[in-house]
């Protein structure tokens, strides 16, 4: 009887693990793979146009949003950060000055009750812009630190 219960429990746990793995979403591009754990969804498929790639993920618990954009522009990360932040500021968003962090530039911003952080990185051929927005950016940072796998480590920050 004990062996039967052990076998049934093991079989049940295997099915549960299989289902949870099967239901987990994955965002995969030529530039990165992002595994979305429970609570995270991909509200729309990855968008690609003219060499640019944009992927979005949303957390249902805290309503935070993560955006990862790759652009085929060989500009330094500081220039991409400055231009993006200037556009945000012109749109009424309060932005900080970009600060260098390793090979990336990081800036924080706020609008209404939302906080955000942007990470700007270049590998010399293409740029990445990672934006996290929400009442807190902690959930998005945790997702990127634990579930993000870059194809080119020079194209993304070492940590978030």
The pTM of the full predicted model, rounded to 2 decimals, is: 0.83
Question: Is 5 a domain residue?
Answer: no
Residue 48 lies in a domain: yes
Q: Is residue 88 part of a domain?
A: yes
Q: Which range has the worst mean pLDDT, 15-19, 66-70, 82-86, 145-149?
A: 15-19
**β partners of residue 34:** 27, 148
Q: Domain count of the chain? A: 1
Kindly state whether residue 136 falls inside one of the protein's structural domains.
yes
What lies within 8 Å, CB to CB, of 107 at 6+ separation is 81, 85, 95, 96, 97, 98, 99, 117, 118, 120
What is the average pLDDT across 45-66? 96
Q: For residues 141-149, give the mean pLDDT.
A: 97
Q: How many CB atoms lie within 10 A of CB 136?
A: 12
| Residue 78 exposed, middle or buried by CB count within 10 Å (0-12, 13-18, 19+) | middle
Q: Which residue has the higher pLDDT, 45 or 10?
A: 45
Note whether residue 75 is domain-resident. yes
């Amino acid at each position: 009887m004990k062996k039967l219960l052990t076998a049934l429990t093991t079989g049940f746990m295997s099915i549960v693990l299989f289902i949870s793995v099967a239901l987990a979403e994955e965002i995969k591009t030529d530039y990165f793979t992002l595994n979305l754990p429970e609570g995270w969804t991909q509200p729309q498929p990855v968008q690609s146009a003219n060499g640019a790639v944009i992927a979005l993920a949303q957390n249902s618990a805290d309503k935070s949003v993560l955006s990862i954009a790759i652009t085929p522009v060989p500009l330094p990360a500081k220039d991409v950060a400055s231009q993006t932040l200037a556009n945000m500021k012109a749109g009424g968003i309060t932005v900080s000055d970009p600060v260098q962090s390793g090979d990336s530039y990081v800036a924080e911003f706020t609008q209404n009750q939302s906080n955000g952080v942007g990470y700007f990185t270049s590998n010399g051929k293409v740029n990445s812009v990672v934006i996290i927005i929400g009442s807190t950016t902690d959930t998005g940072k945790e997702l990127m630190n634990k579930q993000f796998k870059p194809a080119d480590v020079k194209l993304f920050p070492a940590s978030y």
